[in-house]
Amino acid sequence: MENKIKVRRKTLFIWIAAVVAILILYYMNRDLFDISFLKEYVSDHKLQVVGLYLIILTFIGLTFIPSTPFAVAGVLLFPPLEAYIINIIGIITSSVIVYYFTQYLRLDAWIEMKYPKQIEKIKKALHKKELPIIAGWSFFPVVPTDLIIYVSSTLNIRFWKCVVGVIIGEGTLNAFYIFSIDFFI
């Protein structure tokens, strides 16, 4: 257990160091980050890019891959408000997929087998305060939001309550990412 904590700390440190290094490099040499060609492609093929972006955001929930890199990519591809709206739509569609299809695809058995202690803790917490737990969990960037949606589904927590919690948490977090990144770019 202590080894896992050390690995997580090192991973967090590496992640923070990488972000800081990229920001420093960006401020020192902005030409390395010229993405005007990409913005031109997006403007010429807006519908296809938005569609592909939404498909990726929708199905990424089944992989437990964090959506943070996609929020950052959205800022690079779209104007900030548009990126935010598209990300929220992607979060909602991903929530639908995870909520309704994890049990259907038998991912529930795999998740419960792989993380039995964590799932049990989440279930106990959710029985007390559903909406605040879902919103708080969704806001915390280190834990997968898809996991709380999955557990909510298995506990038969109403879908609307799950989505409202996710929109509160992820919506706040994405607003922070998107609008602060846009401010620095």
How do residues 109-165 score in pLDDT, each as one tens digit?
A: 777 787 788 778 888 888 778 888 899 888 887 778 888 888 888 887 889 999 999
Percent of the chain with pLDDT over 70: 95
Question: Contact, 107 vs 69, CB < 8 A?
Answer: no
Are 4 and 71 in the same domain? no
Are the beta carbons of 116 and 151 closer than 8 angstroms?
Answer: no
Assess whether 43 and 78 both reside in one domain.
yes
Q: Domain span at residue 118?
A: 35-184
Q: Are residues 94 and 4 in the same domain?
A: no
Does 56 lie in the same domain as 73? yes
180 and 149 in one domain? yes
Flag the least confident range among 7-16, 100-109, 169-178: 100-109
Does residue 124 sit in the same domain as residue 43? yes
**Which residues, 6+ apart, have CB-to-CB distance to 126 below 8 Å?**
133, 134, 148, 151, 152, 155, 157
Same-domain status, 105 and 131: yes
Q: What is the pTM of this model?
A: 0.73
Shared domain check, 129 and 47: yes
30 and 69 together in one domain: no
Domain count along the chain: 2
Helical packing angle, 116-128 and 130-139, nearest 10°: 130
